[in-house]
Amino acid sequence: MSQLPQLNLRRCFLCGIAALSIGALFAPSSDAADSRRDENAEQAEMFAAIDAGQIDVKFIPMNATAANVLVRNLTDKPLNIQLPARFAGVPIDAQFGGGGMGGMGGGGMGGMGGGGMGGMGGGGGQSMGGGMGGGGMGGMGGGGMGGMGGGMMRVGPERQQKIAVQTVCLEHGKPDPNPKMAYKIVPLDQFTKDARVHVICEALGNRQVTQNTAQAATWHFTDNLSWEKLAEKNRVESKYTGNIPFFSPLELRTAVAVAAEATRLAEERKVPESESVSSESNDS
């Protein structure tokens, strides 16, 4: 498999910012001894294994910034699961298309007041995005953005593993996710075809950006929120204690750089695709 363009941290971050942008992604499982990759076990990509009935995957949003992914092996043999480099967590009753920006319905630009990730727009909880490139339970993930795909995770026969992932919200203005809401995990491109958002979710999964920085860059793309609007957004608004901004100046400056790099990488990824189409046309 050809290696995708990797995030250039020097391009994104100035002195000291890169260190601030590294966040913990995967929480250790209580069954860590069962997490090593088994060379004799069957290997399967996560979404393909779901479709084949080999595994059952539950996506439980903890809040607007994190979720637990429970992977249960339904077979009587060990499985090495290839985790997705990027994914979306969507409300089970949500109706969403297979393209576009994926964040313009049910709230859109609204909800700029205090509290929560996106305010309280209409409809169900908002969809979430993230990545699992940081290694999963087996520590097999690659470093660069999308360079090694997702991580690997071993799941024993009829056993379950848990992965804690960081996420960003993809629909500003809708209610924040919480554990009482029913969600499912799907490929990210089923929610949005925007390659810039794909890049950011991969970077979050590869621990290359902090959650809040990734959130600012994501909303800039999914909901067309300007940097000025993001700077005005408050996490807390109180006439007694004052307002607490949602994003710090440093986070917004870093998000601007991340958004620019995501745009550059998204354009680079289009080149191999266009060359492939051109080659097929010449061969026919």
Tens of pLDDT along the chain (284 residues) come to 444 455 554 555 443 343 343 333 233 333 333 445 567 789 999 999 999 999 999 999 999 999 999 999 999 999 999 999 999 999 997 544 433 333 333 333 333 333 445 443 334 689 999 999 843 333 333 333 333 456 899 999 999 999 999 999 999 999 999 999 999 999 999 999 999 999 999 999 999 999 999 999 999 999 999 999 999 999 999 989 899 999 999 999 999 999 999 999 999 998 766 565 555 556 65
Nearest 5 degrees, angle CA 271-CA 272-CA 275?
A: 85
CA dihedral 94, 229, 250, 209 (to 10 degrees): 20
What residue type is 180 in one-letter code?
K
Dist CA 151 CA 211 (whole Å): 19
Cα separation of 203 and 65, whole Å?
15
User: Model's pTM, two decimal places?
Assistant: 0.74
CA 263 to chain centre: 16
CB-CB contact of 3 with 202 (8 Å): no
Rounded Cα distance between 230 and 82, Å, is 35
